Structure formats: structure tokens, C-alpha cells
Amino acid sequence: MATSLELAQQLKAKFGDLISEPAEFRGELTVTIADAQRIGEVAAFCKAELGFDYLVDASGVDNYGEDPRWSLAYELFSTTKNVYLRLKTHVSEEKGELPTVSNVWRTADWHEREVYDMMGVRFIGHPDLRRILMWEGYPYHPLRKDFPLAGKPTELPEVAFSKTTPMEGGPFVTVSGGKDSAAREPRIRIPED
């Protein structure tokens, strides 16, 4: 039975410099794909040759203030070999798009729609790239780091509206590692502090 390290090395042997050295963190392996535009062929190889038949999750990260701004992570699992592998790739803010993997794993359809809805990263070749959580016509991508926690007012007649949420001095945030429950309970913490 192949371990995820062996499978990651097979992936690197096939694609060479496109794939980074497998990085291990807490027993989980991550490989980074240097060119996001080639995610399609890597994904197809992972499924067809390495047996990663299950895409557990696909998600986006906003590294606001850094370049490239967007990180995409694909959590793969093989139901036959019982191993996990994480693919990561980066997309710059100017580019803002990468090929879909929904033609490899059908479940990526909704995951990519969520990334598009929340982050605004577009997926080339996606069969149905509409918003999935917010309504059609909502003008923002609310999980971007430069989107305020309280939201922004919008108005789409007959469809939906939104208002800015009163924060009442908040946001109220917990911090980990407090000595007792009084130190751990949510307090007003302004992000600039």
C-alpha cells in the first residue's frame, strides 16, 4: 500500500519543477503547484494515476497585502489507498483566475462556486460559475480581508437588501491560552490594536 509520501513523489517525478518538495506538517503532506494554470492536468493525474478519487474540500485563502494574493487548497483523499494529500497553488490578484477541476472531481463544482462567491477568484471552464451563498447581484465578495466585518449596505429591489451591522463597540473576540475562563471569554478587541 502506497503512502501519501510515495504518491507525492510520483507526482513530482511526473511533473518535475512544477511540483514542490512534499512538505509535512502534523502528519499531513502538502505539495505546492508553481503554476496555477496547470492545476487541471495535475488534478487529472492525481485522480487517474494516483487514485485520489475523492476531493474532500477545495478552498481559497486571502493573503491580503501579499503577492500572490490568493491561495487555493485542494484536499484529496484516496478511498482505495486510505491516504490524504493536499495540493496548494497561488494566484495573483491581477490574474484572479485559474482552471476549474470540476471536470475531474464533480464535487468541485460547488466548492469552486463558494470560493468565487466569497473571494472573487474565477474558475476558467467551470460549467456554472454563479454565486452559491449570496444572491445574484450582490456586489461584494465578503470573505476578502478588505471587506468590513460589519458588511456593507446593498439594495437589489425585490431580491434582497443588506445593511451595515451595528458592532456595539465590538468585535467581541476570544483569545486562546487565557489562564481562566474570565481571561478567555470574548472581549472587545479592535483589529488595529
Instruction: Please report, as ranges, the residues that interact with other proteins according to CB under 8 A.
Output: 133-135, 140, 142, 147-152, 158-163, 165-168, 170-171
Residue 27 contacts by C-beta under 8 Å, 6 or more apart in sequence? none
Smallest distance from the beta carbon of 39 to other proteins, in angstroms?
A: 29
Helix 4-15, helix 39-48: angle, nearest 10:
130
Smallest distance, other proteins to C-beta of residue 165, A: 5
Would you say 113 and 87 are in contact if contact means Cβ atoms under 8 Å apart?
A: no
Classified as helix, coil or strand, 154 is: strand
Nearer to other proteins, 99 or 170 (CB): 170
Cβ distance to other proteins smaller for residue 72 or 118: 118
By beta-carbon proximity to other proteins, the closer residue of 81 and 152 is 152
Q: How far is the CB of 156 from other proteins (least distance, A)?
A: 9
SS (H, E, C) 168-183: CCCCEECCCCCCCHHH
Q: For other proteins, which is the closer residue by CB, 34 or 156?
A: 156
How far apart, in whole angstroms, are the C-alpha atoms of residue 70 and residue 98?
11
To other proteins, the closest distance from the beta carbon of 114 in angstroms equals 13
